[in-house]
Chain A
Amino acid sequence: MEALILTVLLTSVPLIFAATGELVAERSGVLNLGVEGMMLMGAVSAFAATSILGNPYMGILAGAVAGALTAAVFSLFALGLATNQVATGLALTIFGSGLSGLVGAPFVGGTVEGLPNLAIPLLVDIPVIGNLLFNHDIMAYLSIGFLVLVAWFLNRTRAGLVLRAVGNSHDSAHALGYRVLLVRFGAVSFGGMMAGLGGAYLPLVLTPHWSEGMTAGRGWIALALVVFASWIPSRILIGALLFGGITIMQLAGQARGWTVPSQMLSMLPYIATIIVLVVIARNRDFALANSPACLGRLFIGNK
């Protein structure tokens, strides 16, 4: 059982990274559908840097930088030139998938030494949960660290308040003198960095090799997670564990001889997300407080 829970935890890490990043971008009012492309860029850069430099920690850095740079392409068009966000995000996924394949071609067939586990002294000795929670690689800790940081930033800091204001009404935020596009650029770049980290987790920990399209749709799941979490950071954790949990449950169920069609189980998270959407939309106060009203809408002009 412990091993199964561990599997759920690890398979959730890329989702937590990518979804937390996208949450920040969406909170600022930008819908970036290019998560899959940014994750792939993060994955390939992390793998390339690790194989060249022989140090997986450089891989983490490379993944983060690559993700942020890919996001900057999105910003250039969707923010700088006010192109439609949905179309630009889709284009970014096409672009990122292609570019990652191109960059990664020389690395196909290689493998690297992944990130080692860093047990936290004392805590790891706690019975039952010690090994489950405190014996992971650095990125697993980082994912939770970022989640906490984002929650604190959004709710407890002035900058977080500004970011949310920009997402809720860019016109009023602008009237108050905030630089809407700059805030959004920051949020989108952060989202890209996090997606890059999420992608990097694949070749650095989960499956230490590179191959084209290895994220296999996880970027899209991250997008669903943000909505499932109704834009509240802590719920990303619940959502990611739920998505990961259902995947693993479905696999473990098969190993134990369950006969429910796997497709039906795989549908559950998406249907749950729709139900969550309805529930939060019905609760007006909640919706007003948390869903960015300007999500996906264009903001033109700056000074």
Chain B
Amino acid sequence: MYAIGEEIFFYRAGPHDFSCATCHEQSNKRIRLQQLPNLTEHTEVAEAYGSWPAYRMSQGLVRTMGWRLQDCFRQQRWPGLTFGSEVSIALQTYMAVNAAGGVMTAPGLKR
């Protein structure tokens, strides 16, 4: 599952050629004003992964990491990710393993 997650993390597709890695394989970068976690780096992925599920203030709802991934793929211009699908689980496994040993801080607070 981890290996599948890793392959999908770097898989570029769609009209914009975006993969997860487009935004999340470098440290100290931001999109507009939003800081982007480097999900290939232990400390950063531990902080990001450990903060979900999170309360999304703009939506007034608690959202899961599965929801966050679905919204990433929408922004990547990909088709709709199915909740609980193999890709969704594989990417969460990829992050969880990279984050192993980190501290859970959920529920996080997100803009």
Does B associate with A? no
List residues of A whose CB falls within 8 A of some B CB: none
